[in-house]
Amino acid sequence: MATVTLQPGKERPVVQHHPWVFSGAIARIQGRFPERGEVVDVQSASGEWLARGCWSDGSQIRVRLFTWNPHEPVDDALIRRRIERAIDGRRRLGMIAADGACRLVYAESDGVPGLIVDYYAGFLAVQLLTQAMALRSAAITRILAEMLAPRGIYERSDVDVRDREGLPPASGVLWGETPPERLKVRLPGDLWHVVDLSAGQKTGAYLDQAFNRLRVAAHCAGAEILDCFCYTGGFTIAAARAGARRATAVDASETALSALHDGLALNNVTIPVETVAADVFQLLRRYREEQRRFDVIVLDPPKFAHTQAQVERATRGYKDINLLAMQLLRSGGVLATFSCSGLVSSDLFQKVVFGAALDARREVQIIERLTQSPDHPVLLTFPEGEYLKGLICRVW
Ligand code: SAH
């Protein structure tokens, strides 16, 4: 096994169990140069053993650490133990039900960097995001099949981060049955969703918002709501079930809006729901000109900042939509505003919303702070695992 020696002074994050070693922290490699995804030891500049992980030659993150115990090999048994523990955590949360859906394994936050496993009513959707996980695809599939006896396991490694890892996108059946195009799953609050594991966004659904939809729905009785970036209508369905009067749901994706209609039927939603295939930025401006007004507006945009260099531009985007939404709210109305850009801190996000409120000349109170659902835990040693932030605001 190769040994990666760190530059002097670069051991601190490793000692504190942060799971990433960046290329800039590495002084040299001893032993045979590691292959992609191979296990390596990491030592300090003075030669003290620190941790063990997997090598990547494609990413700036050269080593992802799996253990800080010198006696623990990084092998299939370790991956199995970590997956078992992750699933146990979800079980204790009461989030595992035969017809339900939740994130079973959340990569670094569950001690398995690069591996995401989502459960959808008997099927598993898997993302292998690093060279190490891609290399171990067969073993991971076997472990999951043995442990959970799912109907099928489907790979959804068709994501941008694979690119940065020097891996091509990959998707398809890894094991068992092909998931149906319209799989019905039950989410918290007994809300039913139609999920397409093979072609939907992410692994089919935005599971991280499952509980937040209920928190927002609590403000929707009798309300007219505008659900921006609605995807398959998670917030609209929750709002309708909580007694909303009418809803307008907006997304750029026609496919998502068609699934939204299935979802409405599945949940016996009878209130008027208008779906609009449009760019939210443009539509909000049009609504402002038309002087449309709403009682509740949800803003759940996609990730605007993928790199540090994009943060400034992202904040302008967040400010723009938040300002417009505030202008469309009736006095005393509710703005539920989210950011899933990990690089935009909650502090910065709140400042952006503050800037929007100033420009909109509205008085805004935060009535609740939201984050990703508990099946997306945040490991204290890996704060990067926290990415979703939301504010429910009263806008006067
Ligand atoms: N609120 C959803 C998840 C939203 S994900 C839920 O609860 O499940 C972000 C969505 O924004 C995606 O569906 C994507 O199609 C859509 N989108 C991205 N850019 C957009 C734009 N400029 N205008 C409208 N929709 C957009």
Q: Would you call 194 helix, strand, or coil by DSSP?
A: strand
Give the integer Cα–Cα distance in Å for 3 and 8.
15
SS3 165: coil
**Going by DSSP bridges, is the β-strand pair 294-299/329-339 parallel, antiparallel, or unpaired?**
parallel
**Is residue 103 situated within a structural domain?**
yes
Q: Are residues 233 and 337 in the same domain?
A: yes
Is 181 domain-assigned? no
Residues 310 and 354 in one domain: yes
Q: Is the CB of 231 under 6 A from ligand 1?
A: yes
| Domain that includes residue 140, residue range | 76-176
Same domain, 112 and 47: no
Backbone φ and ψ of 109, nearest 5°: -65, -15
Final residue of a domain: which of 138, 157, 176? 176
Q: Is 340 among the residues known to form the active site?
A: yes
- For ligand 1, say whether the CB of 302 is within 6 Å of any of its atoms: yes
Q: Residue 68: its pLDDT value, please?
A: 98
- Nearest atom within ligand 1 for CA of residue 279: 23
Which of 70, 35, 34 minimizes the C-alpha distance to 52?
A: 70
Both 216 and 333 in one domain: the answer is yes
Backbone angles phi, psi at 347, to 5 degrees: -60, -50
Any atom of ligand 1 within 6 Å of the Cβ of 234: yes
Give me the pLDDT at residue 33, please: 96
Q: How far is the CA of 230 from the centre of ligand 1 (A)?
A: 6
| Total Cβ atoms within 10 A of residue 370 | 18
In this structure, is residue 197 part of a structural domain? Answer: no
Q: Say if residue 161 is in the same domain as residue 215.
A: no
Query: What pLDDT, on the 0 to 100 scale, is given for residue 160?
Result: 87
User: Parallel, antiparallel, or unpaired: how do β-strands 123-128 and 152-157 relate?
Assistant: parallel
Q: Are 244 and 220 in contact (CB under 8 A)?
A: yes
Q: Is the distance from the beta carbon of residue 209 to the nearest atom of ligand 1 less than 6 Å? A: yes
CA angle (252, 258, 168) in 5-degree steps: 60
Same domain, 61 and 80: no
User: How far, in Å, is the centroid of ligand 1 from the Cα of 60?
Assistant: 29
Which stretch of DSSP H or E encloses residue 162?
helix 160-164
26 touches 64 (CB < 8 A): no
27 CA distance to ligand 1 middle (Å): 43
pLDDT number for residue 348: 98
Determine the atom of ligand 1 nearest the C-alpha atom of 338.
Answer: 1
Distance 106 CA to ligand 1 centre (A): 22
Give yes or no for residue 304 CB within 6 A of ligand 1.
no
What pLDDT shows up at residue 201? 86
CA separation for the pair 217, 368 (Å, rounded)? 13
> Does the beta carbon of 256 lie inside 6 Å of ligand 1?
yes
**119 alpha-carbon distance from chain centroid:** 14
Q: Are residues 33 and 170 in the same domain?
A: no
- Predicted pLDDT of residue 133: 97
List, for the chain, all residue ranges whose pLDDT scores fall below the cut of 50.
none
Task: State the helix-helix crossing angle for 234-241 and 254-266, rounded to 10 degrees.
Answer: 30
